[in-house]
Structure 1
Amino acid sequence: MTVEQPLTAPAAVLDRAAADRAAGLEFGRTIDRSLVHRAALEEVFVTDFRSLAPDRFRAGGRLPLAHPYYTDDVALSRRYDALAVFECVRQTLLCALHLHHRVADEAKAVTASTGLRVADPAALEARPGGHELELDGSVLVEKQRDGALGRVVHRVEVRSAGRLVGDVTVDTAVLNAAAYGQLRMKERDTVAPSSAALAERQEPSALPAALFGRQNPDNVLLRSVRVDGCAAQAGMRLPLSHSSLFDHPQDHLPGTALLEAARQLALLLAGEVFGRWPARTVLLALDARYHRFAELDQPLTIEARYVEAGPRSFTEPIAVVFRQSGRDVAEVTLRLTGAEPGAASALPQPARGSRADDGRERS
């Protein structure tokens, strides 16, 4: 006769689990993927969500340890990606719309502006347990429209093992399906095509992935790059079959793709002007504003330049503008820093906030 003994976890695991429970967060599994608008289970990074007060909530998240997009880098993933942290916050805010603000399932979240600040780049260095995040959210602005949430501004502080990583602020308009449809047709003569219908037209980039700190060419979002002094121009490659950026069909280019494209062009510019190696250059901050939807059936161009003429350091702000059909689609201002030991991390708080009805990025 065989008697099965209960499995006993190592003491370190039990201690950490007890600490998690004391903090009110669980990290053992992810939440329902529908709450964060993801189709693939492996794209869900949020593990827990708790409403604490009308203007406060808390969430747990896990950064992926191995991922075809977020851990694809020539530095062999010795650091967690700041945009992976941003994605974890973005998913947390989608969850907050449903569980904290009680927004209807069919509502559309349209981002007007967003800001990311990495307070401590060293906090993103890979270390045991460093991929588990505590996300403390607050509601800065909440406005009703016709009896339902119409606009909300959130700020989320991100910590890893109690250590402040940084914060994210997002200004979001919330629309019902009819209002969203009207907004989409405001600047179009035809219904916007779905990414699923256009995926076969996708063309790979001919640019070496290493120019952008990547290994996988599928993660390169730029093409036809031209550098002129302290400025650079590129065409935007539409990664319509990308498993993360297009986890599910979209009728526009998502804002997360624009942020990555802006980072890639900024890395290229820093390399051309200052000889920076992308593997030793990381994102420190960004401030993005979305003016209109980035359409899938029109060419999109990107321009990047250092904000100040004659920059003395690669760490100075870089302004990136996305243009389509002669109009600005989005603006992103980024700051980079070095990933070398002892790299400076001092950063002034980026300006944030804009009118919610200016934005055109839907989750």
Structure 2
Amino acid sequence: MNLPSSPSTGPWSARPATALASGGPLPAPLPAAAFLGPHHLVHRPDTPEGFLLAATPPGRHRFGFSAQLPEAHPLFSDSTAPFHDLLYPMESLRQMGVFAAGRYFRVPENRRILLADCTMAVTALAPWERGGAGAAQLTLDLDMTPADVVKGVPRTMDCRASIAIDGKRCGTVGARLVFLMPGVYRTHRAHSRRESERAAQGPSGLPAGHGVPGPELVGRRSPRNVLIGLPLAEDGDSLVFPVDIPAAREVLPDSGSEVPTALFLEVSRQAALFGVGELYGLAPGHAVLTDWAATFRGFAEPGLPLRCAVRPHTSHAPGEVFRDAAGRPVAELGLTFTQGSRVVAAVRTSVLQIC
């Protein structure tokens, strides 16, 4: 499981996305749905009760989400590859799930909402390309299905969506949310903290004097968005990166007092792009993640060092790539996030070389 969000945070307070500044201090990240900029969420109930009461008994609910993909955002518009940012639809799904939990599924505000797992897949690459006339329109057709319902309140919820850009289907995204009572959350959190503190030593940022990779090596243009340091160790077929948690909390949504949920996608992407350059000889600035799947185990503590290890996936020999239908090289990687000896998250991803 990952980090908590409040179900009271919804899309109705959305504000325009922050413009990308040219120099000067990095704008503070907007909290929750405001981070996404202007957008719309429409409930599509399947029963007459849903239309009359704006809620239905526990069961699958359908929603439609739409927004313009950002063109001038300090994070979403900072990719070296000519594609819209994959983080945007994933963060949209998570935030819509958090909002719907309280609005449509009766989850009390005191429940802690945790991300247990998350997936993303690009099914068609062309719609993701930037550069068309005007802003591109993102739509998500969402299905949200509660489970383990006790007295009308779900303990978990499965969120799945198909992604379309300018009306063209181009991907899927999914997540499973878990709703914990405050006492259960505190117990799990305390256990995770004790386990991490046994072996994790040092700052939550980079080690003193440790260097950072050039932004183009992790698929970014601005150094302010680089969230990993140079590898701490390598053994020929794996790399271990320190994660800069303070830097992540400056640029990612829902920071608060926690490690931002979006950190795991953004850091795994940066580590994977750097990794394909070192392990496969691919060009990080001209590569894109096409599949991403993560499971979360316990909690990441913001005050302790976090590490991300990257290695070729076990289904392939070190340095081996395969080809997609267009003949382009694809590398499969496994990533593991740890605090001390404790595994916080495990990720599998595919990275496509686009030129």
Relative to the length of structure 1, the TM-score reads 0.74
Counterpart Cα distance in 1 of 2:85 and 2:63: 24
Q: 1:241 to 1:320 in 2, by over 3 A?
A: closer
Shift of residue 200, structure 1, vs aligned partner:
10
Aligned residue number for residue 332 of structure 2: 317
Aligned residue number for residue 133 of structure 2: 128
Shift of residue 256, structure 1, vs aligned partner:
1.4
Shift of residue 104, structure 1, vs aligned partner:
2.8
Map 1:52-67; keep pairs closer than 5 Å: 52-53=44-45, 54-55=59-60, 56-67=62-73
Give the residue type in structure 1 aligned to 2:291: A
Aligned residue number for residue 285 of structure 1: 291
SS at match of 1:57: strand
Q: Please tell me whether the aligned partners of residues 279 and 319 of structure 2 are also in contact (alpha carbons under 8 angstroms).
A: no
Counterpart Cα distance in 1 of 2:32 and 2:146: 31
Q: Please tell me whether the aligned partners of residues 60 and 134 of structure 1 are also in contact (alpha carbons under 8 angstroms).
A: yes
Map 1:262-301; keep pairs closer than 5 Å: 262-301=268-307
Aligned residue number for residue 210 of structure 1: 216
Shift of residue 241, structure 1, vs aligned partner:
6.6
Q: Please tell me whether the aligned partners of residues 32 and 253 of structure 2 are also in contact (alpha carbons under 8 angstroms).
A: no
Give the residue type in structure 2 aligned to 1:325: G
Aligned residue number for residue 160 of structure 1: 165
301-310 or 181-190, larger mean C-alpha shift: 181-190
Q: Please tell me whether the aligned partners of residues 209 and 220 of structure 1 are also in contact (alpha carbons under 8 angstroms).
A: yes
Counterpart Cα distance in 1 of 2:32 and 2:152: 33
Give the residue type in structure 1 aligned to 2:345: A
Aligned residue number for residue 95 of structure 2: 91
Q: Which residue of 233, 258, 264 maps to 1:258?
A: 264
Q: Which residue of 41, 48, 69 maps to 1:49?
A: 41
Deviation string 1:202-224 (CA, Å, 9 cap, x unpaired) is: 98853222211212222111114
Shift of residue 96, structure 1, vs aligned partner:
2.1
Map 1:1-363; keep pairs closer than 5 Å: 31-33=12-14, 39=31, 43-45=35-37, 47-53=39-45, 54-55=59-60, 56-75=62-81, 78-126=82-130, 127-128=132-133, 131-145=136-150, 147-188=152-193, 206-225=212-231, 226-240=233-247, 242-251=249-258, 253-307=259-313, 308-313=316-321, 315-340=330-355
Counterpart Cα distance in 1 of 2:304 and 2:292: 26
Aligned pair count reads 300
Q: Please tell me whether the aligned partners of residues 205 and 222 of structure 1 are also in contact (alpha carbons under 8 angstroms).
A: no
SS at match of 1:148: coil
Counterpart Cα distance in 2 of 1:205 and 1:217: 12
Q: 1:66 to 1:141 in 2, by over 3 A?
A: same
Give the residue type in structure 2 aligned to 1:122: A
Give the residue type in structure 2 aligned to 1:250: S
Q: Please tell me whether the aligned partners of residues 116 and 296 of structure 2 are also in contact (alpha carbons under 8 angstroms).
A: yes
Q: 1:98 to 1:129 in 2, by over 3 A?
A: farther
58-67 or 287-296, larger mean C-alpha shift: 58-67
Q: Please tell me whether the aligned partners of residues 159 and 175 of structure 2 are also in contact (alpha carbons under 8 angstroms).
A: yes
SS at match of 2:257: coil
Counterpart Cα distance in 1 of 2:221 and 2:185: 37
Shift of residue 63, structure 1, vs aligned partner:
2.1
Q: Please tell me whether the aligned partners of residues 43 and 244 of structure 1 are also in contact (alpha carbons under 8 angstroms).
A: no
Aligned residue number for residue 16 of structure 1: none
Identical positions, percent? 25
Give the residue type in structure 2 aligned to 1:274: Y
Counterpart Cα distance in 1 of 2:252 and 2:352: 25
Counterpart Cα distance in 1 of 2:99 and 2:34: 17
261-270 or 122-131, larger mean C-alpha shift: 122-131
SS at match of 1:222: coil
Shift of residue 95, structure 1, vs aligned partner:
2.4
Unaligned runs of 5+ in 2: 1-10, 16-28, 46-58, 198-202, 322-328
Counterpart Cα distance in 1 of 2:271 and 2:14: 32
Q: 1:184 to 1:310 in 2, by over 3 A?
A: closer
Q: Please tell me whether the aligned partners of residues 127 and 166 of structure 2 are also in contact (alpha carbons under 8 angstroms).
A: no
Counterpart Cα distance in 1 of 2:248 and 2:320: 39
Deviation string 1:279-307 (CA, Å, 9 cap, x unpaired) is: 21001010100011111222222111111
Counterpart Cα distance in 2 of 1:173 and 1:305: 29
Counterpart Cα distance in 2 of 1:320 and 1:60: 31
Deviation string 1:18-46 (CA, Å, 9 cap, x unpaired) is: xxxxxxxxxxxx63249xx9637751346
Q: 1:325 to 1:82 in 2, by over 3 A?
A: same
Give the residue type in structure 2 aligned to 1:156: A
Give the residue type in structure 2 aligned to 1:310: P
